[in-house]
Structure 1
Amino acid sequence: MRSPRPRPIRLPAAAALSATTLCVLVAGCGGGESAGQASSGKATLSMYAWSSSPAEDGVLRKAIDDYNKLGRATVKLNILPEYDTALQTALAGGEPPDVFYLNDNKVPDLAKAGALEPIGDKMDKPGDFYPTLKDSFTYKGTFYCPPKDFSTLQLVYDKDALAGAGVKPPTTWDELAAAAKALTKPDRPGLVLNAEFYRWGVFAVAAGGWLTDDAVTKATADTPEMTKGMELLAGLHKAGYAASPQTVGAGWGGEALGKGKAAMTVEGNWIVGAMKTDFPKVKYGIAELPAGPAGKGTLSFSACYAVAKSSADTDAATDFVRFLTAPERQLEFTKQFPVMPSRQSLAEKWLADKPELKPFVDGSTYARDSIFVPGFKPVIDDINDGIQGLAKGNRQVADVLTATQKVAESTLGG
């Protein structure tokens, strides 16, 4: 899976779709048969996917080969390097792929535009998907597409650094602050994390805060809870005990940890593959993020298998996605990689040969999704800009959250 937002420093919100694109999506124009009409005979389906690694690409190709041998349809795979651009171009041109990977934060825009065929409840045992993940792919009560896998954010640390400083993985905010101080050296901050909302936001969650209410109808960016989360990290940065990756010569937290430029970072389970490939000699551990005033907090990130509303054969496309999300195939698809199965029933089997990743799975029980409403991107852009200022020390928490509150109120209409 490609992480939606966090890895390594991917912009967090979906690119805004133009009015022309939305019009085309709703109209479902383009060549071929009318939207949702089943084709005659054996269907030929196109699929768009992004590449996470050659190994994962190989597993996907094998799954497609296995499906094609069943004789129900033929799927042709396109793994695209500039995925977002290619998908938006296809959508805007009225000729989208029948099946495609879709990041959770892009579902509201495409669902509102009428571009997605709702297939979530047509999967086998849809209740087996984690509730938070189902919520991520649900828009106005409709479960549009099933999650393919998921990740959560947790604390990743350098075992040797903590042992050398006599520090245990922190479990509370006070312990985190003390650990960051004890682990800081002139050329190594104790904690390094990307200066953006989807990293800092987990601390807001642990304080009981969020940018909006659960219904995403009311802005809550300037609440005391949000303030507590932002002030914790702003204070650590100001004291020199925390930093952003770029200030230590790294592109993201995993690279900072691997290069010895950080003792702790906040990352998702995708860090496992990167550490194995790029920094195989670094001994690292994983712990749940320290609990805040409201308890533990983290975010879940996922992508789904989406079916285009304008597919010439939505039934065949749905059948193919049902094949991909069957428990036995999902376990096979994820067992070789650090992404986690989106089905709850597979958690223990997945962890059997990788127990060290349990904190990421444990986060699924309290993680919240990070999905808002169509057109929310300006709010994320605004708070990201503010967080970058907080990390640099040239902004104040109150000013940042007041500004974000105004943008959120304007976006939500009050």
Structure 2
Amino acid sequence: MSAHRAELSRRGFLGGSLLFVAGAAVGCSTTPGGGDAKGAGTTLNVWSHAYGEAGTQQALTRYAGEFTKAHPDIAVKVTWVPGDYTAKLNASLLTDGAPDVFEIGDFSQALARRGQLAPLDEVYGSERSDFSQGNLDYMSVDGKVYGVKMIDDVLMLHYRRSALEKAGIAPPTTFDALASAAKALSTRNTKGLYLGNDGLGESPALAVLSNGGSLVTDGRVEFASPQAVEAVTALKRLTDDQSVLLGFTTDWWDPSALTQGVVPMQWCGLWAMPAIRTALGDDFGVLPWPALKSGGTPVLRVGGWTSCVNAKGRQVAAAKTFVRWLWVEQTALQKDWSESYGFHVPPRASVAATADKLTVGTAKETVELAAKYGRHYPNTWDTELSAPFAAAAKKAVSGQGDPAQLLAEAAKVAQAALDKQRS
């Protein structure tokens, strides 16, 4: 599958998670609740990663309780999983204690091909047309849909307007301008740009896409192409200039580096916008990752979280009932989840149309940019493909080898993993 740009108007994009563990020592669990939970004949284990926004854990627990009130025969046990959620989930899925319902970030078709995910086409019912075709395609494998998108997340560059204006720097629209701005805004005590604790974050993939390259296309790993090599090589400039912040107290997904004045530019997500606005007022703007050079294309990444059902679980029917109730039927709860605990784009068109907070100011600008420049990663882009790419890019930008050779070697490893994934 190609890493293709989302073909969406702003209205279309606006039209276009929640989960928990059963008794395992992975995080905080609620007792099954809502309604007469003690009399329920079925208990669902539902997993969620530890969202960073205040109130999210309480909201998911409340949703579970409301579900049980509407379905007294089904109780829901919510587990909040801190730390490396993906690793803990993958480990759990190999055991009898695996959750019945779980969320995943970037959708991976490998789980479906391994028989771990139950197809959910019937869960959509007559509401299917209210979900964007792009998301349905993203979660599809061999013609079946294996998830229900809970939220669409948009990731982009944030910058302090006053800092750039004071330095006489225009918001960068090319990579050269971004690198120059980061260097100019760096001082002895501060850096100009924060991409993540490792100094790279998602920038290697973004650079490749912004140079007209691809990560994976039609079963072929493409991140060793000439466009990709050129893009990763260009990132070395940020390292050489020592203009990127390393080792901050929180990673790129938290806006603290920007809001605390540690850096004037940071890669982060739409979810952080309320916190950024509280800290900075209107003194911030948003940008796509800029085109590597003339002829390239700016990029915003579109991610999010998807609710899935464990095909090997003991409560598949009840799990599907829960997923449909919450992420298809309960439009008021979906709106609450998307707007009340950070900003996210509701995947359902009818819900997104009521998302008033996304229709004004910088949030509106973000949605418009995502409609124009938004890109999903391929649904084959799991850790077995992304890890060798990230490792090669890290070595390349730190001068530990020839970028073309490093990426070619990584591509061989990734291609073997992709072939296995698709077999």
Shorter-normalised TM range: 0.7 to 0.9
State the secondary structure of the residue aligned to 1:64: helix
Give 1:367's aligned residue. 374
TM-score, length-normalised on structure 1? 0.77
Give 1:245's aligned residue. 246
Query: One-letter code of the match for 1:225?
Result: Q
| Distance apart, 1:155 and its partner CA | 1.0
| Distance apart, 1:395 and its partner CA | 4.0
**Which of these residues, 197, 201, 207, is aligned with residue 211 of structure 2?**
207
C-alpha contact 1:243 1:391 (8 A) present in aligned 2: no
Q: How big is each residue's C-alpha offset from its partner over 1:324-379, in whole Å with a ceiling of 9 and x where there is no partner?
A: 113332112211122321224433432436632234423155433224538x5343
Query: One-letter code of the match for 2:48?
Result: A
C-alpha contact 1:150 1:302 (8 A) present in aligned 2: yes
Q: Distance in 2 between matches of 1:55 and 1:251?
A: 19
Query: One-letter code of the match for 2:270?
Result: N
The alignment-based identity, stated in percent, is: 23
State whether structure 2 residue 166 is matched by structure 1 residue 171: no
Map 1:1-400; keep pairs closer than 5 Å: 43-52=42-51, 53-71=53-71, 73-82=73-82, 83-84=85-86, 87-105=89-107, 107-124=108-125, 125-194=127-196, 195-196=199-200, 198-213=202-217, 215=218, 217-240=219-242, 242-246=243-247, 249-253=248-252, 254-272=255-273, 275=276, 283-292=283-292, 293-325=295-327, 326=329, 327-336=331-340, 337-352=342-357, 355-362=361-368, 363-373=370-380, 377-400=383-406
C-alpha contact 1:170 1:176 (8 A) present in aligned 2: yes
| Distance apart, 1:144 and its partner CA | 0.4
C-alpha contact 1:45 1:76 (8 A) present in aligned 2: yes
Segments of structure 1 that go 5 or more residues without pairing to the other structure are: 1-40
Structure 1 residues 344 and 196, CA gap change in structure 2 (3 angstroms):
farther
Query: One-letter code of the match for 2:345?
Result: M
Q: How big is each residue's C-alpha offset from its partner over 1:1-49, in whole Å with a ceiling of 9 and x where there is no partner?
A: xxxxxxxxxxxxxxxxxxxxxxxxxxxxxxxxxxxxxxxx964433222
Give 2:407's aligned residue. 401
| Distance apart, 1:154 and its partner CA | 0.8
Q: Distance in 2 between matches of 1:219 and 1:91?
A: 27
Q: Distance in 2 between matches of 1:365 and 1:308?
A: 35
The runs of at least 4 consecutive aligned structure 1 residues that moved more than 6 Å come to none
Segments of structure 2 that go 5 or more residues without pairing to the other structure are: 1-39
Q: Distance in 2 between matches of 1:280 and 1:359?
A: 17
Q: Distance in 2 between matches of 1:161 and 1:348?
A: 35
Q: What's the RMSD between the two structures over aligned residues? A: 3.1
State the secondary structure of the residue aligned to 1:235: helix
TM-score, length-normalised on structure 2? 0.76
